[in-house]
Structure 1
Amino acid sequence: MIQTPEFSAISDAPRSTDQSLLDALAADLRAAEFGHDAISALLGPEANAALHRDQLVPALLVLRGAYAAPRPAALAVQLGLWMLGREFDADALDAAFPVLRIAGLVELGLIEQSDSGNWRASVDLRPHASDADAELWVASDPGAHQRTGVLRHDHVLGIGQASLTLAQITVRPQVERALDLGTGCGIQLFHLLAHARTAVATDISERALAFTRFNLLLNHAALGLDPADLGARVQLRLGSLLEPVAGEEFDLVVSNPPFVITPRRSGESTADQYTYRDGGLPGDRLVAELIAGIPSVLRPGGVAQMLANWEIGAKPDIDAQDTDEQEIPAWQLGPRSWLDPATEAWFIQRETATPSEYAETWLRDSSESRDPEAYAEHYEQYLDDFASRSVAAVGFGMVWLRRPENSEIRPLSWRFEEIGYPIEQPVGQYLAAAVAAADLLAASDLGSEHLLVAEDVTEERHQRPGAEHPGVILLRQGAGLRRTELLSTELAGFVSACDGDLSVDQLVGALDSLLGDGDPDFVDRLHDGVSRLVTRGFLLQMRNKR
């Protein structure tokens, strides 16, 4: 008896038992040019932009004439079916999918018959640009804007802003083995396969792993996979958090975990939780456990990157002998309490929300506002839950972790930043450069380095009319995290002289003789400022200068 491959035939999910049908679908999508460029040209800039905001009406208005025609173009039908919630008769689908035909769409579990007798999509399918050379097509569950009613609790999320953000911040060295923890429909996995020889993808949902398998095999050519031997490069595993990979080690771990803080209710079951966002633990405990546990699955030198929420205003258990809580911003207290002292960490808080703002965001996300009574009940539960832990706000941001190769040397140590303004994505390459700079400083003598000002850096000077000297000197980054540094007069002088000719010690010595005025802390203070500008990417090291 031939066994069905794991996750290839899960109820209410696309099926991936027959590769010839998947290849036929890919051929039809390719023939219709179902991709970003063709869709944008078909809709025009305004309707296309609205579609990216999940607003369907402008696109439907643009295509109204096309759908009224006896035989709409294949691209219009495919766009309407997969992304606009349109229904079509059998003839229109057979014409738009001449290789797969309607029978193949049914066999793959991609369409279903509506009460009207026409056919509608049972999945959302859309193009996605990955690190592969070609666009991919990614299937997920239809969103709230495409279907009426509250989302199903085992909803498989598609290409959302959080998943795009994680893909853009991920550092991408060539690695032997990578892990996508909580893969969903597989977005992060697709990016990993461009620079990891093998990858493991885990999820607590069988439906999610079924979508991931379908997407992998649909896009096997672009991803460089052998559909007859998928396991040679990718393993799909069912389980919660780190359980499926306990005892293993990876070079790179990425995760967009179910970090949403949701009030726990007496008697609730897993079926009552939205698996794509709700980890089933009180408060931010899921994130806490994950951050504490991830170093155990990292190889020495291995890195993990993830998105997370954390509660602000709670009272974590921190030994007052080790850190003075009064001097630490409130949002850092929780994350600091989760970290192993041997782990390097970089937290960047991007935004915060009050308890009521947070409740509204996630009630709206699951379309619970469509049921007024349930909405009011669950809103109250959110506020009561936050009040029970004295939570004043919830933070959202990026997390970078590393297990040092040498436990005695932690170049980055713990770094915490708040960056609430727009940054230039993708920043993965910038983060990699910042970490490399910290590593280099830890391994070399800063004083012997020759430095250059980064190409994207500009200087601003502000002074009162008639003043002899500027009162404020600012250094700004035009790329990456777009930081701004307030400079002292001596640090501004140092930056102005960074043309790579003189070493750091030579420049500091010259400035000390000009501006030090006998200050015993002048040199150390200047060295600290220079080190900060190097690790933050304002100044770059010239490794070939001696």
Structure 2
Amino acid sequence: MWRGLLAAFGRGEFTVDGVASLLGAAARAALDRGETTPARRAVRGAGDAGTLVRLFLLGDPVPRAEAASALAPADLDEAIGAGLLVDTGGQVTAALDLRPHGDASIPDAAPWWVLSDLEVGPTTRTADREHVLGTGAASLSLARAMVRRPVDTLLDVGTGCGVQVLHASGHAARLTGTDVSARALAMARVTAALSDVEVELLAGPWLEPVAGRRFEQIVSNPPFVPGPPQVDHVYRDAGLGGDGASALLVGALPAHLTEGGVAQLLASWLVTSDDWTERPRTWLAEAARTAAPGGLDAWVVQRDVADPALHVGTWLRDAGVDPASPEGTVLSERWLDYLAGEGVLAIGFGFVTLRRTAPDVPGTVVCEDLRQSHDDPLGPEIEAWLDRTAWLAGHPGDALLDARLRVPDTVALERGLVSTDEGWDPVAATLVRLDGPQWRHDVDELGVALLAGCRGHLPLRDLVDLLAVAHGRDPEELAVAALPVVRDLVHHGMLVPAGGPT
């Protein structure tokens, strides 16, 4: 049947580009907002192509004859028997979500299709326990953050319907996915088959199916939602309580990485003090022990923070439960009681990137907020961060003073001025990266002068010495003060080695 569907999708141009062309920009944008009428109007009289859009993207009932024509050469009754469609008495509706998908960053990629359960919401339906998510915001954010450098082996932990496997197929030679849900694995097999992607799919919890194996890259969109220690929905709840799923994976993944291997996952952490990094740093300390004999580089990026009430309401709605309904009220009380008992002030959400280093290379751990607007894919920035961290590891301590550095063209200096009787007096200077995450660093006047000399011609040591002479400062004391600032600027791509971009 699936081979027949592929033929039907090709003939009906049921692909990302084909649907976009059929709908037009305005109707496509409206559909992305959940407004179906413009799309419905756009496909009137569009024949089999319009029927496929109505059936699978709009959720409309379609007369059997029209559905049979659009799906040919696949057999309509076989599709109904397989659970893809349901016969409602002369008409057919979709029982599962099957939609085209793509990745513009992979050149010449073949069309993809993703099979998952139908979307849920308070006005439609509530998620079942074994509900399988499709191409949601979280899965797409991880795909956009994925490091895309060529690797031989890649593991997707908690593969769900197989979205991450598709996005990894452009750079990984051998793909493996694991999931505790048999239903999810069945859908992932269909997703891979329709999309002509070969993947090894293994059943079991967490990393048990790949015990003793190591991979060059690991990605995971796990059931990371902090809540009571129970499983109402497999895609969301780990049953470990609180942020146990994130803690488990961060601690366990390094042991499954090859030397130089990179793991990336979506994670949440309970914020129980003024320092949101407290819990992630505890996990990373355990992760560093499991990485032995190598070290561990880690970058924890906090993208969002929610208070407990917002957190609970968000995830109840995500499962199709209205928080104001009788069921929602009971669940809200249970969740909020649990979080209060754990002393939770807020819940943080973001990305964790881990890299297993060589035995003689000490690891670097950085936790930082990235809640500012950032529309670009995060993946290239993560790749650059890994490169910059490796470069800094090769220049430990005072060795950094021998490096020639430059300020890239994508960095600007902003000055704050206040009005005085004599005119405008400077009160602040901020270094700003104009691309990527648009990092900002406040710098003093000595820092401004030092950066002005970073043109890639002189070693940092000579620049510090010249600055010390010009300002009557001790060169050693100035170097001690400058080194941590310079390291931070290199980490954020605001200073780069003179030999080329990093």
On whether the aligned pair clears a TM of 0.5, the verdict is yes
Is residue 471 of structure 2 the alignment partner of residue 491 of structure 1? no
Please give the secondary structure, in 2, of the residue aligned with 1:369. coil
Is residue 384 of structure 2 the alignment partner of residue 429 of structure 1? no
2:392 corresponding residue in structure 1: 441
After superposing the two structures, state which structure 1 stretch, 86-95 or 501-510, moved more.
501-510
2:73 corresponding residue in structure 1: 99
Is residue 191 of structure 2 the alignment partner of residue 254 of structure 1? no
1:528 corresponding residue in structure 2: 484
1:324 corresponding residue in structure 2: none
Is residue 100 of structure 2 the alignment partner of residue 127 of structure 1? yes
Write the mapping of 1:201-220 to structure 2, written as runs, cut at 5 A. 201-220=177-196
Q: For the residues of structure 2 that align with 1:393 and 1:127, how far apart are their CA atoms?
A: 37
1:389 corresponding residue in structure 2: 342
2:252 corresponding residue in structure 1: 293
Alignment check: 8 A CA contact 1:312 1:395 kept: yes
Residue type of the alignment partner of 1:429: P
Residue type of the alignment partner of 2:217: L
Please give the secondary structure, in 1, of the residue aligned with 2:418. coil
Please give the secondary structure, in 2, of the residue aligned with 1:470. strand
2:281 corresponding residue in structure 1: 336
Q: Deviations over 1:172-229 (max 9, x none)?
A: 2211211100000101111222212212100011111111111111111xx4x4xxxx
Write the mapping of 1:112-261 to structure 2, written as runs, cut at 5 A. 112-114=86-88, 116-130=89-103, 131=106, 133-144=109-120, 148-220=124-196, 223=197, 225=198, 234-261=199-226
Q: For the residues of structure 2 that align with 1:209 and 1:434, how far apart are their CA atoms?
A: 33
Residue type of the alignment partner of 1:99: P
Please give the secondary structure, in 1, of the residue aligned with 2:277. helix
Please give the secondary structure, in 2, of the residue aligned with 1:179. strand
Is residue 62 of structure 2 the alignment partner of residue 82 of structure 1? no
Match of 1:356 among 294, 309, 314: 309
Residue 488 of structure 1 and its aligned partner are, at CA, apart by 1.6
Residue type of the alignment partner of 1:449: A
Match of 1:275 among 219, 234, 237: 234
Write the mapping of 1:394-413 to structure 2, written as runs, cut at 5 A. 394-406=347-359, 408-411=360-363, 413=364
1:22 corresponding residue in structure 2: 2
After superposing the two structures, state which structure 1 stretch, 358-367 or 283-292, moved more.
283-292
Q: For the residues of structure 1 that align with 2:498 and 2:212, how far apart are their CA atoms?
A: 41
Q: Deviations over 1:85-131 (max 9, x none)?
A: 101112111222232242453355321112x4311112112222233
2:408 corresponding residue in structure 1: 454
TM (normalized to structure 2)? Answer: 0.91
Alignment check: 8 A CA contact 1:56 1:84 kept: yes
Q: For the residues of structure 2 that align with 1:475 and 1:149, how far apart are their CA atoms?
A: 50
Q: For the residues of structure 1 that align with 2:99 and 2:404, how far apart are their CA atoms?
A: 49
Distance 1:432 1:361, change over 3 A: same
Residue 536 of structure 1 and its aligned partner are, at CA, apart by 1.1
Q: For the residues of structure 1 that align with 2:167 and 2:500, how far apart are their CA atoms?
A: 33
Residue 33 of structure 1 and its aligned partner are, at CA, apart by 1.8
Alignment check: 8 A CA contact 2:51 2:70 kept: yes
Q: For the residues of structure 2 that align with 1:478 and 1:544, how far apart are their CA atoms?
A: 18
Alignment check: 8 A CA contact 2:465 2:475 kept: no
Q: For the residues of structure 2 that align with 1:455 and 1:119, how far apart are their CA atoms?
A: 58
Q: For the residues of structure 2 that align with 1:500 and 1:276, how far apart are their CA atoms?
A: 50
Residue type of the alignment partner of 2:379: G
**Equivalences, count:** 485
Q: Deviations over 1:352-409 (max 9, x none)?
A: 1111111100111111118821111111111111111111111111101122221x42
Alignment check: 8 A CA contact 2:122 2:321 kept: no
Please give the secondary structure, in 1, of the residue aligned with 2:160. coil
Residue 24 of structure 1 and its aligned partner are, at CA, apart by 2.2
Alignment check: 8 A CA contact 2:121 2:318 kept: no
Is residue 10 of structure 2 the alignment partner of residue 45 of structure 1? no
Q: For the residues of structure 2 that align with 1:187 and 1:515, how far apart are their CA atoms?
A: 57
Alignment check: 8 A CA contact 1:85 1:146 kept: no
After superposing the two structures, state which structure 1 stretch, 351-360 or 459-468, moved more.
459-468
Q: For the residues of structure 2 that align with 1:371 and 1:460, how far apart are their CA atoms?
A: 48
Distance 1:416 1:541, change over 3 A: same
Residue 147 of structure 1 and its aligned partner are, at CA, apart by 8.5
Distance 1:81 1:516, change over 3 A: farther
Q: For the residues of structure 2 that align with 1:203 and 1:364, how far apart are their CA atoms?
A: 24
Q: For the residues of structure 2 that align with 1:79 and 1:455, how far apart are their CA atoms?
A: 46
Q: For the residues of structure 1 that align with 2:220 and 2:465, how far apart are their CA atoms?
A: 47
Q: For the residues of structure 1 that align with 2:195 and 2:179, how far apart are their CA atoms?
A: 20
Residue 58 of structure 1 and its aligned partner are, at CA, apart by 4.1
Please give the secondary structure, in 2, of the residue aligned with 1:501. strand
Q: For the residues of structure 1 that align with 2:226 and 2:127, how far apart are their CA atoms?
A: 18
